[in-house]
Chains A and B, each alone.
Chain A
Amino acid sequence: DQQVKQNSPSLSVQEGRISILNCDYTNSMFDYFLWYKKYPAEGPTFLISISSIKDKNEDGRFTVFLNKSAKHLSLHIVPSQPGDSAVYFCAASARTGANNLFFGTGTRLTVIP
């Protein structure tokens, strides 16, 4: 059973507007969450992360929000740029355990110029 879920396979956003990508998880042992970005013909690249002791982490145009009670996290990109068009993967790990990463299926973001 999938422990990390991204229920939206795709998202289209106008350039300059906000992109919100969502991720849900089921394992309450997860305490570290990451977002990866993947362009075609390339491997995923690390984007931003958040520890469970925080509920928000910001890095430039990218902000990740964590709602532990809902087992939900989201990635906000604002303002969205055409170069942000890619597949975004949510991942989670349990640092107290083997600490391996569990990935979602990804959301394809298209930013329309």
Chain B
Amino acid sequence: ETGVTQTPRHLVMGMTNKKSLKCEQHLGHNAMYWYKQSAKKPLELMFVYNFKEQTENNSVPSRFSPECPNSSHLFLHLHTLQPEDSALYLCASSLAGGSDEQYFGPGTRLTVT
């Protein structure tokens, strides 16, 4: 497996469910990111981790909870989401934090019912 992988690729969940998105990078990078892409909106940065430490939380509601156990793995734990949270969630990694070229995973298409 190479590059940045994300699972699941599609997720449908109810507003009372708890689920987690997983991201894994095989590039030896030290920084990982979560982005949200809603229809007709730009990619919105949610969280940044550098060397497993969270360095950015872009005013994300607490119903989204990130976890970075090591430089290769990143999770996004979801609970009590709202329908407006339905979007494509993209994970990315880069060699260093805030680095220029970020490598993206294919994304998880999330639908909240």
Residues of A within 8 A of B (CB): 2, 4, 9, 32, 34, 36, 41-46, 49, 89, 93, 95, 98-106
Contacts and interface: CB of A to CB of B under 8 A. Distances in A.
B64 interface: no
A34 B94 CA distance: 14
B99 interface: yes
Contact of B98 (A42, A100, A104): A100
Given A43-B90, A93-B98, A99-B98, A104 B42 contact: yes
By DSSP majority rule, is chain A's interface helix, strand, loop, or mixed? Answer: loop
Contacts of B103: 45-46
B98 A46 contact: no
B95 to A, nearest CB: 12
Nearest to A3: B42
Nearest to A91: B43
B100 A44 contact: no
B46 to A, nearest CB: 11
A43 B101 contact: no
The 7 closest A-B pairs by CB, nearest first: A99-B98, A43-B104, A103-B43, A103-B42, A44-B104, A105-B42, A46-B101
A106 B40 CA distance: 8
B107 interface: yes
A94 to B, nearest CB: 9
17 contacts: A2-B42, A42-B106, A43-B104, A43-B105, A44-B90, A46-B103, A49-B101, A95-B100, A98-B55, A98-B56, A98-B98, A99-B100, A100-B45, A101-B45, A104-B42, A105-B40, A105-B41
A86 to B, nearest CB: 13
B32 interface: no
Contacts of B6: 43
